[in-house]
Structure 1
Amino acid sequence: MAKEIINRVASSKLITIDLEDYYPQGKRVVFDIKNWLYEELILREKDFREQVKNHDWSQYKDNYIALTCSSDAIIPSWAYLLLTAHLSSFSKKIIVGGLEMLETVLYQEIITDLDLSKYQNVPVIIKGCTNKPIPPSAYTLLISKIQPLAKTIMFGEACSTVPLFKKNAKN
């Protein structure tokens, strides 16, 4: 008779945290103001304000926006503030920077708001494989938040993890 196969991972106290489960739904948009500049280099206030006034901001409804300028122009702070003033009633989030910065800000808010009580004195696996663009900084923020609580922290998949942290027996 064959022995019954027991899934010890499923019956353990291991808790897997998959940051992909928290990925905010919504379109990500890079809003590059380069084309609104004179010769893609100089921000002329009157022309810039005219572009802002005539732009259809409703197309960004429920989007996450990364404001940027891909040319070497020096952009005054008020320009990003003016864009934000027009975008804020339509978009979910607006940052100045690229897509990675946008994802970092989103995950910073998510991880800050996580209820961490279930990670108290249990072994934790931070899942490593994702199909969505999880920024590396999200993982560092997560481990710094759960390390004071977790018994152990590993990275990867239940079948092959990399140990990262183990609480001292004294703690």
Structure 2
Amino acid sequence: MTNEIVNKVAQSSLVVFDLEDYYPEQEAVVLDISQWLFQGFILKEKEFRAALQNFDFSIYNNKLIALTCTTDAILPSWAFMLVTVYVQPYAQMVNQGSVNDLYIAYYQQLINTIDFSIYQDQPVIIKGCSKKAIPEEAYVMATKKMMLYARSVMFGEACSAVPIYKRKK
């Protein structure tokens, strides 16, 4: 009689989908537009435009940009639009909001490009326990797409997965 240990997880047909594999390599940077406001609060259009024209936006080359204003300034929508015009030629991505909002937008864009048909009729685990800050919204987006193809969707690790979805027969 052998007491061989069998790794049933390795022998299973489970397919792992890991959002961490798609985590951006580019640095995420907060770009605070209050630096171009008078005393950090007041937008004077002529001075604002001049400050943007004189700023070296090339420092944001190939970065993910979270546009925000860290003061309680009341700004017109076009203020963020104008900053975008200057930073977009250098940045990999520009989004208004927090870094988390930026990552949500990043994953939303990314998930729409992934070919989920490769998971057709497969039991899939959407891997949890990431070492990187994957927004929870990305898991929801991936689940919505995965449900269209996978036979079943679980969350977590193969040894302790939580059932999320199972296609009805």
When normalised by structure 2's length, the TM-score is: 0.95
> One-letter code of the match for 1:30?
V
SS in 2 for 1:91: coil
Counterpart residue number, 1:134: 134
Deviation for aligned residue 1:3: 3.0
Unaligned runs of 5+ in 2: none
Deviation at 1:63, TM superposition (A): 0.5
Hey, what does 2:18 align to over in structure 1? 18
Gaps of 5+ in 1: none
Question: 1:91 and 1:150 mapped to 2: Cα distance?
Answer: 35
SS in 2 for 1:82: helix
Deviation at 1:36, TM superposition (A): 1.8
**Farther-moved stretch of structure 1 (34-43 vs 123-132):** 34-43
- Alignment of 1:118 onto 2:88: no
Secondary structure, in 3 states, of the residue corresponding to 2:150?
coil
Aligned equivalent of 1:167: 167
1:35 CA displacement: 2.5
> How many residue pairs end up in the alignment?
169
Comparing 12-21 with 76-85, greater Cα deviation is found at 76-85
Query: Which residue identity does 1:145 align to in structure 2?
Result: K
Letter in 1 for 2:137: S
Question: Whole-Å Cα distance in 1 between the matches of residues 102 and 67 of structure 2?
Answer: 9
Instruction: State the alpha-carbon separation in 2 of the partners of residues 41 and 55 from structure 1.
Output: 19
**CA-atom RMSD, angstroms?**
1.2
Q: Distance in 2 between matches of 1:148 and 1:36?
A: 47
Regions of 4+ moved over 6 Å: none
Identity, in percent, stands at: 46
Q: Give 2:54's aligned residue.
A: 54
Q: How does 1:51-130 map to 2 (within 5 A)?
A: 51-130=51-130
CA distance in 1, matches of 2:2, 2:75: 71
- The TM-score with structure 1 as length reference comes to 0.94
Q: CA deviation at 1:14?
A: 0.4
Deviation at residue 72 of structure 1 after TM alignment: 1.7
SS of the equivalent of 2:81 reads helix
Deviation of the 1:132 alpha carbon: 1.2
Letter in 2 for 1:103: Y
Which deviations, in whole Å up to 9, do the C-alpha atoms of 1:90-120 show, x marking residues without a partner? 1100111110110001101111111111211
Q: CA deviation at 1:6?
A: 2.1
What letter matches 1:93 in structure 2?
Answer: M
- Secondary structure (helix, strand or coil) at the match of 1:113 reads coil
